[in-house]
């Protein structure tokens, strides 16, 4: 089985929490983290907060093997810190052709006026992607420090599928930051939809079983670019929607849930089901609730409206900061994850 987790808005939807929950609760054999270090995924588990930029959040399942594919971009210092923090050195695999960001990319990006103007996170990702396109980026196979982790990850994962094993793919950022389908030029340097995610890994689209598109109960965006219905900072604070980006610490701009964008994200990603996070931000009575029956009536009604408009089942609902704060409806709705 192959399940892909994708962001439906502008990133910050809670993909890390959803992927971490699926990986733990549904017992996947492999977890794959795509994208680059400009996207941080946060989970709170066993009293500790993890903000990860390389390692999949499903590391919390000790039996899950962790994969960084060829389309990803890592940085040696970030990677080294995370494998120590998560104690996962013996179960991490990196593809020979995974891209590596160096200090010169960070410097170049911070001096680039164009990248600054479009809201770059200034982590060296844009400059590294430019070098990759120019065929001059160094890859994982070029670094002695990574030698112990190197494998052909496309072969590894396709063989795992052939053997009936389960693979969970954790996409990064969000649909509308896609280089091709997002709010260009205020986008990232890759395709962040399910199709682009699969391309980064080396798995064909016919092998996918589930595409879970994750939406937050409201919309947030870091940096520049359009945000329909954007609230003034004081209104966002009044609603409890003030957040900071996990990588840059910048304040996220906020707007109410956007059904029009959500419908298009479902289409662009061929969603099979939906996850909603931060329901407790709309309905405080839903805070830390972990069963459908205990959700307040208004919260249930809103979820049912989402299902009616988007025509897909909402199978997972985040209700708090802890990894286990999830209403899991997969069994009730007959969805296998």
Using CB atoms within 10 A of its CB, is residue 110 exposed (0-12), middle (13-18) or buried (19+)?
Answer: middle
Give the CA count within 13 Å in the CB-facing half-sphere of 78: 20
E-assigned strand segments in 76-135: 92-95, 99-101
Question: Angle, to 10 degrees, between the axis of helix 297-310 and the axis of helix 259-269?
Answer: 50
Query: What's the order of all strands across the beta sheet hosting 314-318?
Result: 150-151, 92-95, 65-68, 30-33, 167-170, 2-7, 210-216, 273-277, 314-318, 326-328
| Catalytic residue, candidates 41, 181, 191, 328 | 41
- Residue 134 is encoded by which pair of tokens? 């120019």
Q: Which among 272, 18, 323 has a CA at the least distance from the CA of 168?
A: 18
Which member of 12, 131, 325, 328 is catalytic?
Answer: 12
Q: Active-site residue 332, yes or no? A: no
181 assigned to active site: no
In 3-state terms, what secondary structure has residue 196? helix
Closest CA to 5 of 168, 200, 159: 168
Distances (CA, A) of 254 to 258, 279, 296: 11, 15, 24
Residues with catalytic roles: 12, 41
């Amino acid at each position: 089985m192959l399940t892909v987790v994708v962001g439906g808005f502008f990133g910050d939807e809670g993909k890390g929490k959803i992927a971490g929950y699926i990986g733990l609760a549904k017992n996947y054999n492999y977890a794959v983290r795509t994208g680059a270090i400009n996207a941080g995924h946060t989970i709170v588990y066993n009293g500790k907060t993890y903000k990860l930029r390389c390692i999949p959040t499903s590391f919390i399942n000790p039996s899950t093997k962790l994969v960084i594919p060829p389309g990803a971009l890592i940085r040696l210092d970030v990677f080294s810190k995370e494998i120590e923090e998560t104690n996962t050195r013996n179960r991490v695999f990196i593809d020979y052709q995974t891209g590596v960001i160096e200090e010169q990319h960070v410097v170049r990006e911070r001096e680039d006026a164009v990248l600054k103007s479009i809201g770059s996170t200034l982590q060296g990702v844009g400059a590294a992607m430019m070098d990759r396109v120019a065929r001059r980026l160094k890859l994982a196979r070029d670094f002695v420090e990574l030698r112990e982790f190197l494998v052909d990850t496309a072969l590894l994962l396709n063989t795992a599928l052939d053997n009936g094993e389960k693979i969970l793919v954790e996409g990064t950022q969000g649909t509308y930051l896609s280089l091709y389908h997002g709010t260009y030029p205020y986008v990232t340097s890759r395709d962040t939809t399910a199709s682009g995610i699969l391309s980064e890994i080396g798995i064909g689209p016919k092998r996918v079983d589930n595409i879970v598109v994750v939406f937050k109960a409201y919309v947030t965006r870091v940096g520049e670019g359009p945000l329909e219905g954007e609230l003034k900072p004081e209104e966002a604070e009044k609603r409890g929607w003030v957040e900071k980006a996990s990588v840059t610490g910048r304040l996220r701009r906020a707007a109410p849930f956007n059904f029009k964008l959500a419908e298009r994200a479902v289409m662009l990603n061929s969603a099979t089901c939906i996850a909603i996070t931060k329901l407790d931000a709309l309905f405080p009575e839903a805070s830390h609730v972990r069963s459908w029956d205990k959700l307040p009536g208004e919260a249930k009604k809103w979820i049912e409206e989402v299902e009616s408009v988007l025509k897909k089942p909402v199978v997972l609902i985040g209700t708090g900061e802890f990894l286990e704060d999830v209403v899991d409806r997969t069994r009730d709705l007959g969805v296998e994850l």
